[in-house]
Structure 1
């Protein structure tokens, strides 16, 4: 920006464009070199930066928790063990207060969702130009480092939770029991078609709300950081530090809400109405 080589709109567009690989109509399979070209690559295009950072942070989470688990001690625990145990107890307390059934899946799933989404959200606190600049020096034109600002990532997690909702609903109640639950409430059986319509809308709203709530909050936070970066240097420090401190609450809260709603939805799938 200091060199005057790009406009404000170009700067914003650049930071909101993913490193995309897909089938471009003219060039075949290739990386996109612009926002318009990325949009033309079609449904099966892959946002490489989203995949890179989300999978990398997931591996980091698994490695760190496994490392602590394999070195756990019954004596005076170290800082890492205290940290991991605090997170596990926090998640376990939430699961026990909401999910009143026996399942070996729900607590590990809730832990994974909370920590993984928190780590992806945490990337929003990295100064907006640092890592994109490093990758630009290596010849990579685009690099979005916050996976949860990509609706494909949040949508993928939400659809995975939705698949588990359907699986446990059918497993616990059977196909007929699940269909009865959708058709015979809240109105009497004579209104079954209307009930089915209402319940299907409510059912499909679950993954949509999960995905868009997380995406919308993180995208808005990222946009504010980008706008702050366009200001004079002294104004950036005045505004970015308070916003970053406040954003710590946002990134934690969004991970927590996603986890709690996942537990609630899976508890509902196990319950008989």
Structure 2
């Protein structure tokens, strides 16, 4: 990336891995992550709503076929994995799968294109180009993956209390796996760790895979003229990672909510 002065390799990598942020400390907002997340979410809503409004019982168009395939795929996954009854789970699964997939898909855009465009715009607005940052893959930001995982965690608590009641939920935390009052402290520690590990594993798995993929793209960009073949080869492989991570996040969400909906 050209900033008007030569950059070292470490400066180049650090620049690409730095978010555009406002605020300080706990109240720091990553505006590039928020902006791209909201944009991709609205893109998902607009695209699927358009397909729904123009759907036909006759020969469907290509976009309608794609949307129907996504809906059917998620619907089948929910029926196979969710044991309870809820009108929320299938739409939630579809939203998670498509939204996470779109955020992951931004990783395939060459790493310099959008940051360089942001630098040009920032320079025109009077900012120093090397102080203009732009990360375009929301899932390479731990804040995004943690926010998604915490939302799932709150739903787990909600469904656990809704199905089992407060007493049943407390009993589940204190009387399993050892069903004896003497083991209540041990059970509570084990079950609490298990409960907290669910959102933590969701967030860290998605973040780790996408962050590593983005870092490899950045290292490939440092090669120069020979980067295009390597970028293409890594992108072809990375497509599998992008789809797989969206699918895993969706399936684990469904499974965790199914476990929370079971009565013991």
TM-score range, shorter chain: over 0.9
Aligned-residue CA RMSD (Å): 1.2
Supply the distance in 2 between the matched residues of 1:143 and 1:88 (Cα, whole angstroms).
33
Structure 1 segments unaligned to the other structure (5+ residues) = 23-40
TM-score (norm: length of structure 2): 0.94
The superposition leaves residues 120-145 of structure 1 with CA deviations (integer Å, 9 ceiling, x where unpaired) of: 00000000000111111001710000
Q: Does 1:109 align with 2:92?
A: yes
Q: Which of 122, 144, 148 is equivalent to 2:139?
A: 148
Q: Does 1:220 align with 2:203?
A: no
Supply the distance in 1 between the matched residues of 2:84 and 2:170 (Cα, whole angstroms).
22
Q: Secondary structure at the match of 2:86?
A: coil
The superposition leaves residues 22-66 of structure 1 with CA deviations (integer Å, 9 ceiling, x where unpaired) of: 0xxxxxxxxxxxxxxxxxx20111000000000000000000100
Q: 1:246 aligns to what?
A: 237
Q: Does 1:99 align with 2:82?
A: yes
The superposition leaves residues 188-244 of structure 1 with CA deviations (integer Å, 9 ceiling, x where unpaired) of: 31211101100000000011000000000000000000011111312x123211100
Q: 2:192 aligns to what?
A: 200
Q: 1:11 aligns to what?
A: 12
Supply the distance in 1 between the matched residues of 2:193 and 2:250 (Cα, whole angstroms).
22
- Select the structure with the greater relative contact order (CA < 8 A; seq sep ≥ 6): 2
Matched ranges for 1:225-240 at <5 A: 225-234=217-226, 236-240=227-231
The superposition leaves residues 110-166 of structure 1 with CA deviations (integer Å, 9 ceiling, x where unpaired) of: 000000000000000000000111111001710000000000000000000000000
Supply the distance in 1 between the matched residues of 2:231 and 2:44 (Cα, whole angstroms).
27
Structure 2 segments unaligned to the other structure (5+ residues) = 123-128
Q: 2:118 aligns to what?
A: 135
Q: 1:90 aligns to what?
A: 73
- The Cα of 1:4 is off from its aligned counterpart by 6.5
Q: Secondary structure at the match of 1:95?
A: helix
Which ranges of 4 or more aligned residues in structure 1 deviate by more than 2 Å? Answer: 1-4
Q: 1:121 aligns to what?
A: 104
**May I ask how many residue pairs the two structures share in their alignment?**
254
